[in-house]
Chain A
Amino acid sequence: MRKRLFYVPYFLWIVLFVVIPLILIFMQSLTFDNGKSIFSNYQAFFSSGVYLKMTFNSFLFAFLITFFSLIISYPAAYFIANSKYDTFLILLIILPTWINLLLKAYAFIGIFSHDGSINYFLGLLGIAPQQLLFTNFSFIFVATYIEIPFMILPIYNSIKALDKTYIQASEDLGANKIQTFTKVVFPLTMNGVKTGIQTVFIPALSLFMLTRLIGGNRVITLGTAIEEHFLTTMNWSMGSTVGVILVFIMIAIILFTSKTKKNKVGVKNHE
């Protein structure tokens, strides 16, 4: 009985800061005008080319950010996990996450800006200053940089937890290093990859500060849309609608990536 007492803070937290806000946002997104459908905001969302394009943009950017951080993080995590100094290296990876996001964003403004360090070096090579800031490239670059630690950590953990005898077994059965990696190591560290994708893709969907500071408001995602509706156009109802849709997209992604497959593929079942 006493054990339940320990759950109280957790439940209070969940109810006050998760469940109630979600309900409020959902209520906010509904329309209670006479003569209008209660879901008219949703109808507006799905019939508007602008919103659908925004959704598509969000997905595209989130996908690219996740993709680039994955192809950088997996080899990095693999290298770190097999290194003698792995605890030190992983600390180096974690350190930047302790620095405030805003500070990092401003640092990149300094690096990418018209008079920034990159253009200075290009100047030394005799190349005219380039427009780096406020481009899709800079947005994806900075977002990827920020997300990489969150991708490396779960992958590193799953590689670290991998029983090395599986690798030996694979080599014993005739697999070379590449075959061992594709057929044994990568599939067995898939859970880390999935967790990494979840922790990167979902926040990347709703990034809004970076879109403004680095993307220069040229990159419009669902995150920016919500920000605009709440702070600029004061259309809280529509902002909430976008928010609710974003929540559903996230739930869908979590369900999709954490589906445990009891695979029996590639086999004729005689049972």
Chain B
Amino acid sequence: MSLLQLKNVTQVFDDEVVLKDIDIDIEKGKFYSILGPSGSGKTTMLRIISGFSKPTSGQVIFEGKDISNFPANKRNMNTVFQNYSLFPHLNVYENVAFGLALKKVDEKTISKKVAKVLQLVQLEHFEGRMIDELSGGQQQRVAIARAIVNEPEILLLDEPLSALDMKLRKNMQYELRQLQQELGITFIFVTHDQEEALAMSDEIIVMNDGIVQQSGSPVDIYDEPVNHFVANFIGESNIVDGQMLDDYQVKFVGKEFECADAGIPQNERVEVVIRPEDLDITTKDNGKLIVNVDSQSFRGDHFEIMAHDEDDNNWLIHSTNPAKESMGIGLFFEPEDIHVMRLNESEEDFDARLESYEE
């Protein structure tokens, strides 16, 4: 059974539709990411879940109960805020104990729980520190401790890593993931960073323009994006126009290719996605496509090669070795590397179509 559901949730602010008819299902114990660019409605969705905003229409169902009209303090969820919002007049201990003290938990239990949770976030000896005496990373941990000490069913995280530097951020990603698995609490993590979402989540909900574009496991979303937006937003993509000739037969750049997609009407206009890392550089003769290299840049673990074909489509290639010739290199890819997207296909139709031909 799902733990939390949004049913037909729509949010309108001053005639502007921020969320359109959102339906999502959150299961217990999983790590969810709501991923989208700014203005996609992801923060609004989080605020509706946490109870800071009331949806214009639709329902929020928690454990089978409609909680749409419950205020934030009556919901069994806690939030880690983007700027942490730790109380500056209280020290670390008092901040973490805040929620428990409100529930009239006895002093002894509080201090035991606070000690335990501070140990969990590796801040055992910081109880007496004031918030302004902590670094950004430490404040982050206190914010997490303050939320999870209340043992919520769902922990909401509103871009909590965006203020940290790159290295600390990567560390916190691992720690958050580990923490989630240890505690078994459902995490809903809002972010605009696709890498972060891919690295941490069990499920990703991709948002744009107030609509859920696609939801699914990171691998599903990466390998089988439903549309142009998702293909572009998650990872890097080469997207070219094509035409579906038949099941498992697609035509692009004037050539016919075998592919792994089916269930699309014959001769329909489609978009074809090939990930840069799926393109292998080979000789002209062995290549399925011939391209000319425009530029190369070294990225540490790979080369990023920009090229164009005879139809002037741009191709981005990730390769461990640099391209030797600038004129005419071959690109090789397997049929499974080609992903065909129908224009304007909804996520539902997409899932149904995939099911119809996948076993």
Find residues 181-201 in chain A having any chain B CB closer than 8 Å to their own CB: 183-184, 187-188, 190
Residue contact A173 to B71, C-beta cutoff 8 Å: no
A115 within 8 A of B: no
Would you mind naming 26 contact pairs between A and B with Cβ atoms under 8 Å apart?
A163-B83, A165-B85, A168-B72, A168-B81, A169-B85, A170-B87, A171-B52, A171-B72, A172-B73, A172-B77, A172-B79, A173-B102, A173-B147, A173-B150, A174-B102, A174-B103, A183-B102, A184-B87, A190-B89, A264-B91, A264-B128, A267-B127, A268-B111, A268-B127, A270-B128, A271-B128
Find residues 61-100 in chain B having any chain A CB closer than 8 Å to their own CB: 71-73, 77-79, 81, 83, 85-89, 91, 93-94, 98-99
Residue contact B73 to A270, C-beta cutoff 8 Å: no
Contact partners of A183 in chain B: CB under 8 A: 98, 102
Contact partners of A171 in chain B: CB under 8 A: 52, 71-73
B215 within 8 A of A: no
Residue contact A176 to B91, C-beta cutoff 8 Å: no
Q: Indicate which residue in A166, A172, A267 contacts B93 across the interface (CB closer than 8 Å).
A: A267
Give B35 Cβ to nearest chain A Cβ, in Å: 22
Given contacts A166-B85, A168-B72, A187-B89, contact A173 B125 (CB under 8 A): no
Q: Tell me whether chain B's interface is mostly helix, strand or loop, or mixed.
A: mixed
Contact partners of A179 in chain B: CB under 8 A: 102
B146 within 8 A of A: yes
Contact partners of B102 in chain A: CB under 8 A: 173-175, 179, 183
Please measure, in the bound complex, the distance between the C-alpha atom of A173 and the C-alpha atom of B127, giving whole angstroms.
Answer: 19
A269 within 8 A of B: yes
Contact partners of B140 in chain A: CB under 8 A: none
A47 within 8 A of B: no
A266 within 8 A of B: yes
Please measure, in the bound complex, the distance between the C-alpha atom of A162 and the C-alpha atom of B85, giving whole angstroms.
Answer: 11
Contact partners of A266 in chain B: CB under 8 A: 93-94
Please measure, in the bound complex, the distance between the C-alpha atom of A116 and the C-alpha atom of B243, giving whole angstroms.
Answer: 94
Contact partners of B79 in chain A: CB under 8 A: 168-169, 172
Give A138 Cβ to nearest chain B Cβ, in Å: 39
Nearest 7 A-B pairs (CB), nearest first?
A173-B99, A169-B85, A165-B85, A269-B128, A171-B72, A267-B93, A187-B89
Chain B: which residue is nearest A267 at the CB level?
Answer: B93
Please measure, in the bound complex, the distance between the C-alpha atom of A262 and the C-alpha atom of B50, giving whole angstroms.
Answer: 33
Please measure, in the bound complex, the distance between the C-alpha atom of A268 and the C-alpha atom of B79, giving whole angstroms.
Answer: 27
Give B85 Cβ to nearest chain A Cβ, in Å: 4
Q: From B72, B77, B86, name the one whose CB has the most chain A CB atoms within 10 angstroms.
A: B72
Give A84 Cβ to nearest chain B Cβ, in Å: 15
Please measure, in the bound complex, the distance between the C-alpha atom of A163 and the C-alpha atom of B85, giving whole angstroms.
Answer: 8
Given contacts A169-B81, A175-B102, A187-B89, contact A269 B127 (CB under 8 A): yes
Q: Indicate which residue in A165, A176, A184 contacts B81 across the interface (CB closer than 8 Å).
A: A165
Please measure, in the bound complex, the distance between the C-alpha atom of A190 and the C-alpha atom of B83, giving whole angstroms.
Answer: 22
Chain A: which residue is nearest B52 at the CB level?
Answer: A168
Give B134 Cβ to nearest chain A Cβ, in Å: 14
Give A182 Cβ to nearest chain B Cβ, in Å: 11
Residue contact B94 to A267, C-beta cutoff 8 Å: yes
Give B73 Cβ to nearest chain A Cβ, in Å: 5
Interface residues on B, range: 20 to 34
Contact partners of A190 in chain B: CB under 8 A: 89
Contact partners of B89 in chain A: CB under 8 A: 187-188, 190, 263
Please measure, in the bound complex, the distance between the C-alpha atom of A172 and the C-alpha atom of B79, giving whole angstroms.
Answer: 7
Please measure, in the bound complex, the distance between the C-alpha atom of A229 and the C-alpha atom of B102, giving whole angstroms.
Answer: 57
Report A92-121 CB contacts with B as 1/0, cut-off 8 Å: 000000000000000000000000000000
Given contacts A166-B85, A179-B102, A263-B91, contact A172 B125 (CB under 8 A): no
Given contacts A169-B81, A169-B87, A267-B93, contact A175 B73 (CB under 8 A): yes
Given contacts A173-B78, A173-B150, A264-B91, contact A168 B127 (CB under 8 A): no
Please measure, in the bound complex, the distance between the C-alpha atom of A170 and the C-alpha atom of B79, giving whole angstroms.
Answer: 10
If A169-B79, A172-B78 are given as contacts, then 9 extra A-B residue pairs at C-beta distance below 8 Å, sorted by A number, are A168-B81, A168-B85, A170-B87, A170-B98, A171-B71, A173-B102, A173-B147, A264-B91, A271-B125
Report A219-240 CB contacts with B as 1/0, cut-off 8 Å: 0000000000000000000000
Give A164 Cβ to nearest chain B Cβ, in Å: 9
Give B164 Cβ to nearest chain A Cβ, in Å: 18
B130 within 8 A of A: yes
Please measure, in the bound complex, the distance between the C-alpha atom of A163 and the C-alpha atom of B88, giving whole angstroms.
Answer: 11
Give A172 Cβ to nearest chain B Cβ, in Å: 5
Chain A: which residue is nearest B92 at the CB level?
Answer: A267
Give B318 Cβ to nearest chain A Cβ, in Å: 40
Please measure, in the bound complex, the distance between the C-alpha atom of A170 and the C-alpha atom of B127, giving whole angstroms.
Answer: 19
Residue contact B91 to A267, C-beta cutoff 8 Å: yes
Chain A: which residue is nearest B77 at the CB level?
Answer: A172
Contact partners of A264 in chain B: CB under 8 A: 91, 128, 130
Given contacts A174-B73, A179-B102, A267-B93, contact A165 B127 (CB under 8 A): no
Please measure, in the bound complex, the distance between the C-alpha atom of A124 and the C-alpha atom of B127, giving whole angstroms.
Answer: 66
Residue contact B91 to A270, C-beta cutoff 8 Å: no
Please measure, in the bound complex, the distance between the C-alpha atom of A176 and the C-alpha atom of B103, giving whole angstroms.
Answer: 11
Contact partners of B86 in chain A: CB under 8 A: 169
Please measure, in the bound complex, the distance between the C-alpha atom of A197 and the C-alpha atom of B130, giving whole angstroms.
Answer: 26
Give B136 Cβ to nearest chain A Cβ, in Å: 16
Contact partners of B99 in chain A: CB under 8 A: 173-174
Contact partners of B130 in chain A: CB under 8 A: 262, 264
Contact partners of A163 in chain B: CB under 8 A: 83, 85
Q: Indicate which residue in A176, A267, A270 contacts B125 across the interface (CB closer than 8 Å).
A: A270
Please measure, in the bound complex, the distance between the C-alpha atom of A174 and the C-alpha atom of B71, giving whole angstroms.
Answer: 9
Report B117-155 CB contacts with A as 1/0, cut-off 8 Å: 000000011011010000000000000001100100000
Please measure, in the bound complex, the distance between the C-alpha atom of A188 and the C-alpha atom of B94, giving whole angstroms.
Answer: 14
Q: Indicate which residue in B50, B52, B128 contacts A267 across the interface (CB closer than 8 Å).
A: B128
